[in-house]
Protein backbone atom coordinates (compact mmCIF):
# COMPACT_ATOMS: atom_id res chain seq x y z
CA UNK A 1 0.00 0.00 0.00
CA UNK A 2 1.51 3.32 -1.09
CA UNK A 3 1.41 6.38 1.11
CA UNK A 4 -1.34 8.91 0.24
CA UNK A 5 -0.02 11.64 -2.04
CA UNK A 6 -0.60 14.43 0.48
CA UNK A 7 1.15 12.52 3.26
CA UNK A 8 4.04 11.63 0.98
CA UNK A 9 4.50 15.29 0.06
CA UNK A 10 4.39 16.33 3.73
CA UNK A 11 6.88 13.65 4.82
CA UNK A 12 9.21 14.62 1.96
CA UNK A 13 9.13 18.31 2.90
CA UNK A 14 9.54 17.75 6.63
CA UNK A 15 12.16 15.05 6.09
CA UNK A 16 14.36 17.49 4.18
CA UNK A 17 14.18 19.97 7.06
CA UNK A 18 14.69 17.58 10.01
CA UNK A 19 17.80 15.99 11.45
CA UNK A 20 16.06 13.52 13.81
CA UNK A 21 12.95 11.64 12.68
CA UNK A 22 11.36 9.00 14.86
CA UNK A 23 8.04 7.48 15.74
CA UNK A 24 7.14 7.50 19.40
CA UNK A 25 4.44 7.32 22.02
CA UNK A 26 3.48 10.42 24.00
CA UNK A 27 3.79 9.55 27.69
CA UNK A 28 2.98 12.81 29.46
CA UNK A 29 1.67 16.19 28.32
CA UNK A 30 3.08 19.45 29.71
CA UNK A 31 6.06 17.49 30.99
CA UNK A 32 9.84 17.53 30.66
CA UNK A 33 12.61 15.07 31.47
CA UNK A 34 15.34 17.67 30.97
CA UNK A 35 15.93 20.01 33.92
CA UNK A 36 16.69 23.08 31.78
CA UNK A 37 13.51 22.70 29.70
CA UNK A 38 10.54 23.95 31.76
CA UNK A 39 7.43 21.79 31.53
CA UNK A 40 4.44 23.61 30.06
CA UNK A 41 1.70 23.59 27.45
CA UNK A 42 4.26 23.29 24.65
CA UNK A 43 6.16 20.27 25.97
CA UNK A 44 5.66 16.53 26.28
CA UNK A 45 7.74 13.49 27.14
CA UNK A 46 7.82 10.85 24.40
CA UNK A 47 9.10 7.28 24.35
CA UNK A 48 11.01 6.74 21.11
CA UNK A 49 10.00 3.73 19.04
CA UNK A 50 11.78 3.38 15.71
CA UNK A 51 14.45 5.89 14.67
CA UNK A 52 13.91 6.64 10.99
CA UNK A 53 16.67 9.20 10.51
CA UNK A 54 19.35 10.41 12.89
CA UNK A 55 22.24 12.73 12.16
CA UNK A 56 25.11 12.62 14.61
CA UNK A 57 24.98 10.04 17.39
CA UNK A 58 21.23 9.77 17.98
CA UNK A 59 20.62 6.44 16.25
CA UNK A 60 20.74 4.71 19.65
CA UNK A 61 17.67 6.53 21.02
CA UNK A 62 15.16 3.74 20.30
CA UNK A 63 13.41 2.94 23.58
CA UNK A 64 14.64 6.12 25.25
CA UNK A 65 12.57 9.01 26.56
CA UNK A 66 12.95 12.42 24.94
CA UNK A 67 11.42 15.79 25.69
CA UNK A 68 9.64 17.34 22.74
CA UNK A 69 9.12 21.11 22.52
CA UNK A 70 6.33 21.93 20.08
CA UNK A 71 6.12 25.09 17.95
CA UNK A 72 4.60 28.09 19.73
CA UNK A 73 0.85 28.04 19.47
CA UNK A 74 0.80 24.43 18.34
CA UNK A 75 0.33 22.85 21.75
CA UNK A 76 1.38 19.24 21.38
CA UNK A 77 -0.30 18.65 18.07
CA UNK A 78 -3.54 17.68 19.81
CA UNK A 79 -2.02 14.29 20.55
CA UNK A 80 -3.15 12.68 23.80
CA UNK A 81 -0.94 10.55 26.06
CA UNK A 82 -0.68 7.04 24.67
CA UNK A 83 -0.94 8.16 21.04
CA UNK A 84 1.78 7.07 18.64
CA UNK A 85 2.98 9.65 16.14
CA UNK A 86 5.76 10.39 13.68
CA UNK A 87 7.99 13.23 14.91
CA UNK A 88 10.09 15.51 12.67
CA UNK A 89 12.55 17.23 14.99
CA UNK A 90 15.91 18.88 15.57
CA UNK A 91 17.80 18.16 18.83
CA UNK A 92 18.87 21.21 20.80
CA UNK A 93 19.57 20.03 24.36
CA UNK A 94 21.59 17.07 25.64
CA UNK A 95 20.93 16.72 29.36
CA UNK A 96 19.44 13.96 31.50
CA UNK A 97 17.70 13.00 28.25
CA UNK A 98 17.62 14.61 24.80
CA UNK A 99 15.48 17.66 24.16
CA UNK A 100 14.19 18.17 20.62
CA UNK A 101 12.24 20.89 18.85
CA UNK A 102 9.40 19.52 16.75
CA UNK A 103 8.96 20.95 13.29
CA UNK A 104 5.72 18.98 13.11
CA UNK A 105 4.18 15.60 13.84
CA UNK A 106 1.82 13.40 11.86
CA UNK A 107 -0.20 10.28 12.59
CA UNK A 108 1.98 7.23 12.06
CA UNK A 109 0.99 5.69 8.69
CA UNK A 110 -0.31 2.13 8.71
CA UNK A 111 2.15 1.19 5.95
CA UNK A 112 5.37 1.63 7.92
CA UNK A 113 7.41 -0.18 5.27
CA UNK A 114 6.45 2.43 2.66
CA UNK A 115 7.25 5.18 5.17
CA UNK A 116 10.72 3.81 5.86
CA UNK A 117 11.40 3.44 2.13
CA UNK A 118 10.42 7.07 1.54
CA UNK A 119 12.61 8.37 4.38
CA UNK A 120 15.51 6.32 3.02
CA UNK A 121 14.98 8.01 -0.37
CA UNK A 122 15.02 11.40 1.33
CA UNK A 123 18.22 10.56 3.21
CA UNK A 124 19.97 9.28 0.08
CA UNK A 125 19.03 12.42 -1.84
CA UNK A 126 20.22 14.66 1.02
CA UNK A 127 23.55 12.79 1.13
CA UNK A 128 23.96 13.17 -2.62
CA UNK A 129 23.12 16.87 -2.46
CA UNK A 130 25.78 17.38 0.25
CA UNK A 131 28.34 15.42 -1.77
CA UNK A 132 27.53 17.35 -4.96
CA UNK A 133 28.07 20.64 -3.12
CA UNK A 134 31.32 19.36 -1.62
CA UNK A 135 32.65 18.15 -4.96
CA UNK A 136 31.89 21.56 -6.45
CA UNK A 137 34.39 23.12 -4.00
CA UNK A 138 37.21 20.74 -4.99
CA UNK A 139 40.13 21.71 -7.20
CA UNK A 140 40.68 18.09 -8.23
CA UNK A 141 39.05 14.71 -7.70
CA UNK A 142 41.16 11.66 -8.51
CA UNK A 143 41.00 7.92 -8.11
CA UNK A 144 44.35 6.48 -7.14
CA UNK A 145 46.62 4.54 -4.80
CA UNK A 146 48.89 5.95 -2.08
CA UNK A 147 52.45 4.84 -2.83
CA UNK A 148 54.31 6.86 -0.19
CA UNK A 149 53.82 9.36 2.61
CA UNK A 150 56.09 11.42 4.85
CA UNK A 151 56.11 14.43 7.20
CA UNK A 152 57.12 17.88 5.93
CA UNK A 153 58.24 21.07 7.64
CA UNK A 154 55.14 22.81 8.98
CA UNK A 155 55.44 26.62 9.03
CA UNK A 156 52.19 26.95 10.99
CA UNK A 157 52.47 28.74 14.36
CA UNK A 158 53.00 26.44 17.32
CA UNK A 159 49.65 25.72 18.95
CA UNK A 160 47.49 22.82 20.06
CA UNK A 161 45.68 23.03 16.71
CA UNK A 162 48.82 22.92 14.56
CA UNK A 163 48.05 20.58 11.62
CA UNK A 164 51.45 18.82 11.52
CA UNK A 165 51.41 18.62 7.73
CA UNK A 166 52.33 15.41 5.94
CA UNK A 167 52.43 14.63 2.23
CA UNK A 168 51.09 11.54 0.48
CA UNK A 169 52.17 10.52 -3.01
CA UNK A 170 49.17 9.30 -4.99
CA UNK A 171 49.55 7.27 -8.17
CA UNK A 172 46.49 8.41 -10.11
CA UNK A 173 44.43 5.90 -12.06
CA UNK A 174 41.64 8.26 -13.12
CA UNK A 175 41.09 12.02 -12.96
CA UNK A 176 37.41 12.70 -12.29
CA UNK A 177 37.78 16.48 -12.01
CA UNK A 178 40.66 18.80 -12.83
CA UNK A 179 43.56 18.80 -15.24
CA UNK A 180 44.74 15.44 -16.58
CA UNK A 181 48.13 14.49 -15.13
CA UNK A 182 50.84 12.16 -16.36
CA UNK A 183 52.74 11.93 -13.08
CA UNK A 184 51.95 11.00 -9.50
CA UNK A 185 50.59 13.86 -7.42
CA UNK A 186 51.55 15.18 -4.01
CA UNK A 187 48.69 15.60 -1.56
CA UNK A 188 49.02 17.43 1.75
CA UNK A 189 47.08 16.27 4.81
CA UNK A 190 47.14 17.05 8.56
CA UNK A 191 48.88 14.35 10.57
CA UNK A 192 47.64 15.87 13.83
CA UNK A 193 45.03 14.06 15.92
CA UNK A 194 43.97 17.29 17.62
CA UNK A 195 40.18 17.74 17.89
CA UNK A 196 40.29 20.13 14.92
CA UNK A 197 41.92 17.51 12.67
CA UNK A 198 41.29 14.04 14.06
CA UNK A 199 38.42 13.31 11.65
CA UNK A 200 40.44 14.45 8.63
CA UNK A 201 41.68 11.34 6.77
CA UNK A 202 45.29 10.23 7.14
CA UNK A 203 46.09 8.27 3.95
CA UNK A 204 47.89 4.95 4.33
CA UNK A 205 50.42 3.50 1.89
CA UNK A 206 48.60 1.03 -0.34
CA UNK A 207 45.20 2.68 0.19
CA UNK A 208 43.06 2.82 -2.96
CA UNK A 209 40.62 5.69 -2.72
CA UNK A 210 38.87 8.61 -4.34
CA UNK A 211 40.65 11.79 -3.23
CA UNK A 212 38.71 15.07 -3.13
CA UNK A 213 41.41 17.73 -3.12
CA UNK A 214 41.21 21.42 -2.24
CA UNK A 215 43.38 24.51 -2.29
CA UNK A 216 43.65 26.48 0.94
CA UNK A 217 46.05 29.15 -0.31
CA UNK A 218 49.13 27.42 1.13
CA UNK A 219 52.06 25.82 -0.69
CA UNK A 220 53.66 23.38 1.74
CA UNK A 221 55.62 20.26 0.92
CA UNK A 222 55.75 21.30 -2.75
CA UNK A 223 51.99 21.08 -3.09
CA UNK A 224 48.97 23.31 -2.81
CA UNK A 225 46.53 20.39 -2.98
CA UNK A 226 45.21 19.35 0.39
CA UNK A 227 42.89 16.93 2.18
CA UNK A 228 40.92 19.12 4.58
CA UNK A 229 37.56 17.46 5.25
CA UNK A 230 36.26 14.22 6.70
CA UNK A 231 34.83 13.11 3.35
CA UNK A 232 37.88 13.95 1.22
CA UNK A 233 39.06 10.32 1.07
CA UNK A 234 36.49 7.70 0.06
CA UNK A 235 37.31 3.99 -0.43
CA UNK A 236 37.24 3.31 -4.16
CA UNK A 237 35.05 0.74 -5.84
CA UNK A 238 32.82 0.72 -8.91
CA UNK A 239 29.80 2.08 -7.02
CA UNK A 240 31.76 4.94 -5.43
CA UNK A 241 33.33 5.85 -8.78
CA UNK A 242 29.96 5.86 -10.54
CA UNK A 243 28.44 8.01 -7.79
CA UNK A 244 31.24 10.61 -7.86
CA UNK A 245 31.31 10.76 -11.66
CA UNK A 246 27.55 11.28 -11.72
CA UNK A 247 27.61 14.07 -9.15
CA UNK A 248 30.60 16.05 -10.44
Q: What percentage of residues in the chain have a pLDDT greater than 70?
A: 97
CA–CA dist 90, 54 (Å, integer): 10
The domain boundary, picked from 83, 104, 126, lies at 126
CA–CA dist 173, 176 (Å, integer): 10
Same domain, yes or no: 185 and 210: yes
Q: Is residue 181 domain-resident?
A: yes
More confident residue, 80 or 1: 80
Question: What average pLDDT does the chain have?
Answer: 91
CA–CA dist 232, 139 (Å, integer): 12
Domain count for the chain, please give it: 2
The domain boundary, picked from 82, 102, 126, lies at 126
Q: Is residue 121 scored above 70 in pLDDT?
A: yes
pLDDT at 71: 86
The answer to whether the CB of 111 falls within 8 A of the CB of 1 is: yes
CA–CA dist 88, 48 (Å, integer): 12
Q: Is residue 58 domain-resident?
A: yes
Alpha-helical (H) ranges within the chain are 5-17, 112-136, 238-247
Same domain, yes or no: 106 and 207: no
Alpha-helical (H) ranges within 112-237 are 112-136
The domain boundary, picked from 126, 157, 187, lies at 126
Global pTM value: 0.75
Q: Is residue 131 domain-resident?
A: no
Q: Is residue 224 domain-resident?
A: yes
Instruction: Give the CATH number for residue 47.
Output: 2.40.50.120
The answer to whether the CB of 155 falls within 8 A of the CB of 220 is: yes
Domain that holds residue 63: 5-126
Q: What percentage of residues in the chain have a pLDDT greater than 90?
A: 73
Give 73-116 pLDDT, tens digit per residue: 655 555 688 889 999 999 999 988 999 999 999 888 888 899 99
Same domain, yes or no: 149 and 122: no
Same domain, yes or no: 11 and 114: yes
CA 123 and chain centroid, separation: 10
pLDDT at 189: 97
What's the pLDDT band for 179 if we cut at 50, 70, 90?
A: confident
Amino acid sequence: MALPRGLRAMVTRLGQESSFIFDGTIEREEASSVSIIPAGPGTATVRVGHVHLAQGDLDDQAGQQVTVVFPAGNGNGSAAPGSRRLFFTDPFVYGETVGVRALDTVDLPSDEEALRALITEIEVKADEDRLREHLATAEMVVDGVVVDRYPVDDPSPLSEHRPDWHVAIVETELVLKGEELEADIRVRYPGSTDVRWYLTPKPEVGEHAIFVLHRDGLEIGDTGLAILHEDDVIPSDSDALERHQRLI
